[in-house]
């Protein structure tokens, strides 16, 4: 059973609809008891870093992170800002992240680009595989996904990076550490490739 965490951010219904069409059991997590019913979970996200952390605090899900995400070894997938809050901190805000990765979130640097790019990085872009992973099963290197962000996940440990993308600069587009995955793009907006990512996650 896939659980989609409802803490006030993200395209929760769109992700649930994809799993429904795939006939994969899923539920929206709205209480502490719901965590006991699922084997893997998704932390969606749109908006700012501090907003996401504040909403996690208010929903009391932050208190559950050690028990449910680490000790019980349930797989978790963070999407967009849902991934970024796995870091130590962000230059976008002042609050601390979950500190699951040795990483910080930084603003995309446009100073050295020659194509007059503007933020946010919005639209379709390709991912380049740096290593193989079951999350990428049946997806070709160089496939395109839908992005919408101005900040990127800066990993200090390069072995945590599964794929990278370039927009003015290179940045991680998929990360992994133990049972924790993060993706910078929005699979729910990425058509067939995004559906395949969500399907693969359900089979980990």
Task: Please report which helix (H) or strand (E) contains residue 42, including its range.
Answer: strand 40-43
What gap in Å lies between CA 203 and CA 129, rounded to an integer?
20
144 is catalytic: no
Assigned token pair, 36? 């006991």
CB atoms within 10 A of CB 67: 12
Q: Which of 154, 141, 153 is nearest to 183 (CA)?
A: 153
Helix/strand/coil percentages in the chain, nearest 5: 30, 30, 40
Identify the active-site residue in 121, 149, 155, 188.
188
- What does each C-alpha distance from 92 to 27, 96, 130, 147, 154 come to in angstroms? 31, 11, 27, 18, 13
Distance from chain centroid for Cα 90: 15
Identify the active-site residue in 33, 80, 144, 155.
80
143 is catalytic: no
Identify the active-site residue in 36, 155, 186, 191.
186
Classify 87 as helix, strand or coil.
Answer: coil
State the catalytic residues: 80, 186, 188
């Amino acid at each position: 059973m896939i659980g989609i965490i409802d803490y006030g951010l993200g395209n929760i219904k769109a992700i649930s609809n994809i799993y429904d069409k795939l006939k994969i059991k899923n539920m929206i997590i709205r209480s502490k008891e719901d965590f006991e019913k699922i084997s893997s979970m998704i932390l969606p996200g749109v908006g700012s870093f501090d907003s996401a952390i504040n909403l996690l605090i208010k929903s009391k899900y932050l208190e559950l992170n050690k028990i449910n995400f680490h000790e019980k070894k349930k797989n978790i997938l963070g999407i967009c800002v849902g991934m970024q809050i796995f870091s130590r901190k962000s230059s976008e805000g002042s609050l601390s992240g979950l500190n699951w990765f040795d990483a910080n979130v930084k603003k995309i640097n446009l100073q050295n680009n020659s194509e007059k790019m503007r933020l946010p990085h919005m639209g379709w872009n390709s991912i380049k595989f740096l290593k193989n992973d079951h999350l990428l099963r049946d997806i070709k290197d160089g496939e395109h996904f839908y992005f919408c962000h101005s900040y990127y996940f800066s990993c200090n440990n390069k072995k945590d990076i599964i794929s990278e993308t370039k927009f003015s600069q290179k940045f991680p587009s998929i990360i992994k550490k133990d049972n924790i995955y993060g993706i910078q793009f929005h699979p729910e907006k990425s058509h067939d490739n995004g559906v395949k990512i969500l399907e693969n996650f359900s089979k980990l």
